A = this chain, B = another copy of it.
Amino acid sequence: MAKIGVLIDDMFEDVEYISPVKAFEKNGYKIIHIGLKEGKTVKGKKKGTLVKIDKSAQNVSVNDLDALLIPGGCSPDHLRGYNEPVKFVIDYFNSDKPLFAICHAPQILITAQLIEGRRITGWRSIIQDIKNAGAEFVDQAVVEDDNIISSRGPQDIPLFINACLKRLESL
């Protein structure tokens, strides 16, 4: 059974967590919630969804994961303020395993200096940050560039999930 890490902290965009995770679980994938502190409960921004962190970013091995989802909201910006999640994202990224990034997720990829020369999409407020990081911002629902599958935000969730599931099936 493939394992999908979800990198998450407080004030995540609820639907960008709930919908993909529901679809992944329905398809038999196991979810591992990764965050700042094991056992901490983090809370969604709009609906107050509660998520318990299974593993801290410094205690998770990339070998234990088959894919990684980074939901948006304020969570990616919180996480990138700390060294451990940024280091984890770099290690994960270098494994070439699939990374599912939606909305504000590219923020942590920018801090990790991972998107130069890549094609990616994200929430409209971070377009200039994406461009300044040396990436090509693509204004479409789903952008696939090698290991990165990205979407703009809540409006793209159904297509984002389809693209993620298709990639997971090909593993």
Interface residues of A (CB under 8 A from B): 11, 74, 77-78, 80-81, 107, 110-111, 113, 123-129, 132-134
Contact = CB atoms under 8 A, between A and B. Distances in A.
Contacts of A111: 125, 127-129
Nearest to A132: B132
A111 B11 CA distance: 23
**Closest CB pairs A-B (n = 4):** A132-B132, A81-B125, A111-B128, A129-B129
- Interface core residue of A78, A80, A126, A132 (most chain B CB under 10 Å): A132
26 contacts: A11-B74, A74-B74, A77-B77, A77-B125, A77-B126, A78-B125, A80-B125, A81-B123, A81-B124, A81-B125, A107-B125, A107-B129, A110-B128, A110-B129, A110-B132, A111-B125, A111-B127, A111-B128, A111-B129, A113-B128, A128-B133, A129-B129, A129-B132, A132-B132, A132-B133, A132-B134
Contacts of A125: 77-78, 80-81, 107, 111
A127 B80 CA distance: 10
Given A107-B125, A132-B133, 6 more contacts: A11-B74, A74-B74, A77-B125, A81-B124, A111-B125, A111-B127
Nearest to A108: B125
Nearest to A110: B128
Nearest to A126: B77
Contacts of A110: 128-129, 132
